[in-house]
Amino acid sequence: MTDPGNGTLPEAPRISLTFDDGPDPVWTPRVLEALQGAEAQATFFVVAPQVRRFPHLISDVLRAGHGVEFHCTQHVRHTERTHGEVEADTRAGLRTLEMLGVYPHFWRPPWGVLAPFTAEIADEFGLEIVLWTEGTRDWRGDPAPEMLERVGPRLQSGSVVLMHDGIGPGARRSGCGETVALVRGLVERIRSLGCEPGLLTTTLGAGFTVGAPSVDEASSEQERLVRESEQKARTGAGRPAFLERGGCP
C-alpha cells in the first residue's frame, strides 16, 4: 500500500533492538553477523574503555548501518556516585566517542538506575535518556528459545529490547552465544507482528517512564548478584566473578 501523499510505502511500525556493554572483540562481530543475516538494524550502547581498546569495532558497527550511543565510562550506578562524578564520567565517555566522529544522542545509564541529578546531566550534554521495555535477561546465559518465549508475547510497536554484546558486571555467563542465536528468531517474531527492527529514534511513546529507578525484576536480580559479589570481595572472599572475566569496573 502506498501513501497517497507522496506515492511511497509507509514505514512499518518500529521495534528497537539494543545492545549494551560492548564493543567486545569476540561477541560484537558475531552479533553484527547475526544482524546482517537477519537484515536488521540495531543500536549499540557502548562503554568508553572498550571503545578505546577496540575503535575498529565502532567503525564496523557504523559501517553496517547501526547506531552507536553512550552507556558509560565506569559501569557504576548513578545513585552510588556524586553529581560531579557522573558528570565527569559522561564528559570523558563522550569525548572518547567524539574522537571517532561519533556524537551520541541517547544515553542509557548503568543498570538503568537514575539518580535525582541524572536528567540534569543529560540535559547538560544534550542527551536523551533511554531505558528499555523488554529485558531478555541474556546476562544470565538463558537459552535463546527461552528468551524469545519470555519477550516475544510482550513485543509491540515502540518496544525497546535490551540485550548485551559484552560481558558486564553481574553477568552469569562466559559468552554471548545465546544472544547471537536469539537475533534471528527475535527479528522473525518482530516481523510477524508487522513491525520492523530499526534504529532507536526516540523514547517518546516507547511504553516506559524515563526516570524509573528499575525497569524490570531482572535488573533487581542482576544488581543483587553483583552486590553479593562486591560484598564477598570486600570481606576477603575473592574478587567479583565479573572482574575475573574482564568486565567493567
Q: Domain map of the chain by residue range?
A: 14-244
pLDDT tier for residue 4 given thresholds of 50, 70 and 90? very low
At the fourth CATH level, the homologous superfamily of domain 14-244 is Glycoside hydrolase/deacetylase (3.20.20.370)
Separation CA 132–CA 127 (nearest Å): 16
**Percentage of the residues of the chain whose pLDDT score is greater than 70:** 76
Separation CA 181–CA 173 (nearest Å): 15
- The amino acid that residue 42 corresponds to is A
Rg (CA), the chain: 18
The pLDDT assigned to 10 comes to: 59
What number is the average pLDDT over the span 58-77? 98
> With 50 as the cut, is the pLDDT of residue 74 above it?
yes
Separation CA 240–CA 227 (nearest Å): 9
> With 90 as the cut, is the pLDDT of residue 119 above it?
yes
What number is the average pLDDT over the span 197-202? 87
Residue 133's SS3 state is: coil
Reference 71, options 99, 102, 40, 41; nearest CA is 102
The pLDDT assigned to 242 comes to: 29
Reference 206, options 11, 12, 14, 10; nearest CA is 14
Separation CA 11–CA 237 (nearest Å): 54
Distances (CA, A) of 213 to 106, 110, 125, 177: 18, 11, 21, 29
11 DSSP 8-state letter = P
Separation CA 41–CA 81 (nearest Å): 34
In the block, cell 548485551 appears at: 164
CB of 32 closer than 8 Å to CB of 61: yes
The pLDDT assigned to 243 comes to: 27
> With 70 as the cut, is the pLDDT of residue 149 above it?
yes
pLDDT tier for residue 224 given thresholds of 50, 70 and 90? low
pTM greater than the 0.85 cutoff? no
Q: Average pLDDT of the chain?
A: 84
